Structure 1
Amino acid sequence: MIQQYVTLFTFLMLIVMVVEGTLLGMQVLKKARAKFPDEEIKGLGTGWYAFSRATQPRRMRVPKPRVKRGDTV
């Protein structure tokens, strides 16, 4: 019984991560294309990079974050 709930919870969290990663990727891509209009910015690579950075603990990110928490670029 508990195993079913844990499996369902894990599946739901996976769906949430995929949706959140997609939304984050689209948002980052939109901002990057607005900031660099003359550059060709590919969507999948930029979105994947943003998602992978967002899911890593801040201390473990390489290269290190250059923006302080709460600041905007």
Structure 2
Amino acid sequence: MRNVLRELRAEKGWSQAALAEKLGVSRQTVNALETGRYDPSLPLAFGIGRLFGRPLEAIFFDEPEERGGDG
């Protein structure tokens, strides 16, 4: 799953640590979210949406799986 969390955070001028504090998670969690290594729980995703005042669909995007071979 892709997201625009890094871009939204940059618009606010927040560090990863500042965003983490606002969301009640660790800075490492914010980093993992931004780099796509971690998908948020629903409560966390809704919290992110509320914090930035955006619907989830404007923050998180489903990435279609790549097809291998002749496809």
Do these two structures clear the TM 0.5 threshold for a shared fold by scoring above it?
Answer: no
Higher strand share: 2
TM-score normalised to structure 2 length: 0.29
TM-score normalised to structure 1 length: 0.29
Structure of higher CA gyration radius: 1
Higher helix share: 1
